[in-house]
A = this chain, B = another copy of it.
C-alpha cells in the first residue's frame, strides 16, 4: 500500500503483505509417488480468479556440506547420477530424515560420515537456498565442515554409487570458475564460501 512496504535496499525478497502476485491454494494432494520423491498437486486460484492446478516435486529438506580438511583441501565425492547419465564430482549431500527434528547440522555430520567416511571438528551454517523453486519445494541447507578427518565408516544406501576423494580447494575453485563443474550444488557452495565464508 504505502512506500514503506518496500525494503530499503531493493535487493532482497519483495514485501509479502498485500502481495497481488499470490495464488490461493484451495486443495492439495499427492498425485504420484516414487522412491526419491512425491509429486504434489495443488488446486489454485490465480490473481485474476482463474481456477487452475499446479504440480511440483515434494521432498524433504536436504543438507549440502563443504568439507574442509585441516590442510584446507575439500572432501568431494564421485557419484553416479542416473538423471544426467554421468559420474558427478561434487559436495556430499543428502535428504533430512524425520528423526533429524530440523537439526540440520546433525544431518550434515551424518551425511558427511555416510558418504565420505569423514568426521568434522566443527560444522557451521553457510546459506540456505531453494535449488529449483519453479518445479520443487526442495530446500538445501549448506554447511561448512572444518577439520574433517577420515574416522568414520562410509555407510551407503544400496543404490548409492559413491567414491570419496580429496581435491585442493584452489583446484576446485578454478574448475568451478572455468565452467568445468556442472553440478550447481557444488558451484553454489564453492562460490558462496569464496565470497561470504570467512
**A128 & B182 in contact (Cβ 8 Å cutoff):** yes
Q: Kindly state the interface size class of chain A when it binds its partner.
A: 35 or more
In the bound assembly, the distance between CA atoms of A128 and B54 in angstroms comes to 27
Number of identical protomers: 2
Query: Contacting A194 at CB < 8 Å: which of B79, B82, B128, B195?
Result: B195
CB of A21 closer than 8 Å to a CB of B: yes
Return the CB mask of A66-96 against B: 1 if under 8 Å, else 0: 0000000000001111111111110001000
A183 touches which one: B56, B89, B129, B158 (CB < 8 A)? B129
Which B residues are in CB contact (< 8 Å) with A165? 10
Q: Is residue A1 within 8 Å, beta carbon to beta carbon, of the partner chain? A: no
Residue of chain B at shortest CB distance from A179: B127
Q: Of residues 147 to 198 in A, which have CB atoms within 8 Å of B's CB atoms?
A: 158-159, 161-163, 165, 167-168, 171-185, 187-188, 191-192, 194-196
Output the nearest chain B residue to A196 by Cβ-Cβ distance: B177
Q: How many angstroms from the CA of A31 to the CA of B172 in the assembled complex?
A: 37
Query: Could you tell me if A13 and B180 are in contact, using CB atoms closer than 8 angstroms?
Result: yes
- Supply 10 A–B pairs (Cβ within 8 Å), ascending by A: A11-B173, A12-B178, A14-B89, A46-B161, A81-B133, A83-B137, A130-B183, A131-B131, A133-B184, A194-B195
A13-B89, A23-B82, A36-B134 known, 20 other contacts, Cβ within 8 Å: A9-B168, A9-B174, A11-B171, A11-B180, A13-B87, A21-B162, A25-B82, A32-B39, A34-B41, A37-B55, A39-B39, A46-B161, A54-B83, A81-B134, A88-B133, A93-B134, A127-B187, A130-B183, A131-B132, A188-B191
